[in-house]
Amino acid sequence: MTTPTSDPWQVLRAATRARVALGRAGDALPTARELEFRAAHAAAKDAVHAPFEPGLVREALGGADVLCVASAAPDRTTYLQRPDLGRRLADGTTFPPPGDGVDLAVVVADGLSPLAVHRHAAPTVTALLARLPGWVVAPVVLASQARVALGDEVGAALGARAVVVLVGERPGLSAADSLGVYLTWDPRPGRADSERNCVSNVRPPHGTGYEAAAVTVAALLNAARELGASGVALKDEGPALGA
């Protein structure tokens, strides 16, 4: 129960990271809130334009075997202006001959927040692979200037039955380092977004944790293997998914 002198908006502010109940000074925002907004906006812009550093991800993966590729977008400006180029591999990209029985390709893509990838991709990959005993996994692919659909071409080139793409999500004013994890069964160029499943906002402690994301994605992969499909045909029904 609130008292006449207590702040009636405090409960709401404590329950969300959204910008609510900011107050006002005259007909404007209080100075502190305005400065917070500008700082959050600057952080979002910096996240989008930060250079992707594959070496950081490789090191965080413990020196695991990785492949580095790039999309058809030659630079960051082109990537932002031409989303279609970020969905295709650069001309001349080659892969080792696909092995027999590759179950999964894992692609780490910079997306719209390389910052998110640097912070969260490696622990998410590590947690996920630990929950896939018996799965044959291709070397992790690190993709620059890349969007989600690039994983379809990578997965097909590696002969994988499924692809998981970890990508930096578009920054917002409350989250500049949010990682998305997209799953597609039977990857090949031309797959639609409706044929994917997604676990979003992987960014502990304020978003989904690494272990929670790994549990959900592993359950989706196992269910997709049984069903032979992903996307709208495969529903994430929480604990029932892995039952």
Bind-site residues for adenosylcob(III)alamin: 148, 169, 198
Side by side, which strands form the sheet with 162-168?
66-70, 140-144, 104-109, 162-168, 179-185, 196-202
CA distances from 31 to 17, 26, 162 (A): 19, 11, 50
What is the distance between the alpha carbons of residues 184 and 164, in angstroms, rounded to a whole number? 7
Q: Torsion angle, CA of 80/84/90/93, rounded to 10 degrees?
A: 130
- Annotated binding site: which residue ranges? 148, 169, 198
Identify the residue whose tokens are 């001349």.
92
Q: What are phi and psi of 13, to 5 degrees?
A: -60, -35
What is the distance between the alpha carbons of residues 139 and 141, in angstroms, rounded to a whole number? 6
What is the distance between the alpha carbons of residues 185 and 79, in angstroms, rounded to a whole number? 26
